[in-house]
């Protein structure tokens, strides 16, 4: 996608003395929020406390560009895959040209900036040829500027049981690397079923975007991990169309869709050197091994970790919470 804007733009807020005072006041506000374990409760959702300052700063200051497309999700529902696919779709002219895809040397999260990083400490740098910004922030808590801009939003969700298991592995790994005693699976499950998880309640996160997608179908594309796995080619075409860069007949005949699917497959990405041995956000408080984002990439792995009773309990909760919404998540 071409853009007349300079190739790199820094979205920077909070360098000034005013910004520093603001950061202090966010910290003060956050210290008053209800807390359970690693999470703080704010505007109806539970957030990992370390991300809250960045979220509040984004809510107050983020100014989207009209061409922005937001990649949104609750954690562990397919974000890395969706980021790589949308990035590969947007940059496909580079992919087929002489320069190889940036995905070969950068992990997908380093190709698409995250809205809620603490922008004062860590300003977002983005490549204006790639109009993508990602966020896990729930729909009702997005910066109002995003909603009023009418920017396009792509949302992905996943069966709650698989999302939970993926989430548990991820935070356990994260906490071990930070010398924090990880939550047991049982404890984390209990909290999850009570709505307490990063950006949870999970069902409210899903419902927020689901309802918005019904209200603004031309602006919000609602996807599931399971459907995307079932027919990735149809989804790649749908994503391109939604982002305003449909594949030409010629591209389809040249196998461009398949090239993107292969480039972004779990098999390919998880075996790249950068994703096996690299670190995401190295030298920041958010540093994490890239390999942690690539675990199994399978549907139904929950059954290897949760008992059938736990599975049935979470299914029952999801069914009850989604009742009447018209949404049925694949299981
Ligand atoms: N390319 C590709 N294709 C299919 N699946 C993939 C891919 N990359 C990552 N994954 C799997 O997605 C799960 C991680 O979810 P997220 O990417 O949303 O995590 S995060 O929120 O960005 O941290 C996590 O799922 P689990 O394996 O079930 O834990 C990853 O393995």
ipTM at complex level: 0.99
Give me the pLDDT at residue 13, please: 40
Residue 35 DSSP code:
E
Q: At what angle do helices 308-322 and 160-177 cross, to 10 degrees?
A: 110
End-to-end CA distance of the chain: 36
Q: At 3, is the secondary structure helix, strand, or coil?
A: coil
The Å distance, Cα 6 to ligand 1 centre, comes to 32
Cβ 58 vs Cβ 115: under 8 Å: yes
Cis before 156? omega within 30:
no
Q: Would the CB of 76 count as within 6 Å of ligand 1?
A: yes
Annotated active-site residue 136? The verdict is yes
Which of the four pLDDT bands, split at 50, 70 and 90, describes residue 128? Answer: low
Exposure b/e, 313-323, CB count within 10 A at least 16 = b: bbeebbeebbe
Helix 160-177 crosses helix 185-193 at what angle (to 10 degrees)?
130
Q: What is the CATH number of domain 43-322?
A: 3.40.50.300
Query: Can you tell me which atom of ligand 1 is nearest the CA of 166?
Result: 29
Between CA 178 and CA 61 the distance in angstroms is: 31
What's the CA-to-centroid distance between 287 and ligand 1, angstroms?
17
Q: pTM for the complete prediction?
A: 0.92
The residue ranges of DSSP E strands in the chain, in sequence order, are 8-11, 35-36, 39-42, 45-48, 69-73, 124-127, 132-135, 152-157, 220-224, 279-280, 288-289
pLDDT, tens digit (0-9, with 9 covering 90-100), for 79-89: 999 999 999 99
> 50-64, 180-194, 198-212 — which is least confidently predicted?
50-64
Which residue's CA lies nearest to atom 12 of ligand 1? 78
Q: Whose CA is nearest to atom 11 of ligand 1?
A: 297
Ordered by start, the domain boundaries in the chain are: 43-322
Q: Are 105 and 277 in contact (CB under 8 A)?
A: no
């Amino acid at each position: 996608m071409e853009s007349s804007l300079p190739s790199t733009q820094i979205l920077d807020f909070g360098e000034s003395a005013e910004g520093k005072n603001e950061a202090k006041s966010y910290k003060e506000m956050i210290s008053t929020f209800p807390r359970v374990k690693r999470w703080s409760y704010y505007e109806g959702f539970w957030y990992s406390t370390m991300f809250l300052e960045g979220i509040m700063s984004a809510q107050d200051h983020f100014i989207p560009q009209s061409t922005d497309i937001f990649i949104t999700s609750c954690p562990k529902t397919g974000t890395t895959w969706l980021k790589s696919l949308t990035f590969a779709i947007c940059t496909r002219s580079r992919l087929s040209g002489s320069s190889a895809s940036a995905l070969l040397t950068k992990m997908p999260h380093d190709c698409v900036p995250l809205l809620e990083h603490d922008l004062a400490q860590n300003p977002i740098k983005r490549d204006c040829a790639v109009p993508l910004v990602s966020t896990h922030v729930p729909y009702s808590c997005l910066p109002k500027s995003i909603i009023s801009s009418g920017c396009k939003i792509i949302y992905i969700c996943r069966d709650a049981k698989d999302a939970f298991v993926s989430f548990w592995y991820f935070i356990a790994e994260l906490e071990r690397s930070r010398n924090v005693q990880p939550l047991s699976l049982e404890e984390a499950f209990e909290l999850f079923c009570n709505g307490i998880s990063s950006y949870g309640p999970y069902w409210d996160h899903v419902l927020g975007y689901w309802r918005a997608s019904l209200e603004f179908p031309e602006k919000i594309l609602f996807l599931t991990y399971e459907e995307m796995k079932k027919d990735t080619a149809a989804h790649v075409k749908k994503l391109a169309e939604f982002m305003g860069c449909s594949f030409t007949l010629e591209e389809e005949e040249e196998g461009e869709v398949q090239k993107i699917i292969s480039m972004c497959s779990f098999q390919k990405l998880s075996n790249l050197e950068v994703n096996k041995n690299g670190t995401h956000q190295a030298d920041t408080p958010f540093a994490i091994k890239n390999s942690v984002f690539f675990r199994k990439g399978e549907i139904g792995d929950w059954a290897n970790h949760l008992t059938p009773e736990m599975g049935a309990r979470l299914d029952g909760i999801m069914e009850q919470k989604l009742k009447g919404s018209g949404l049925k998540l694949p299981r």
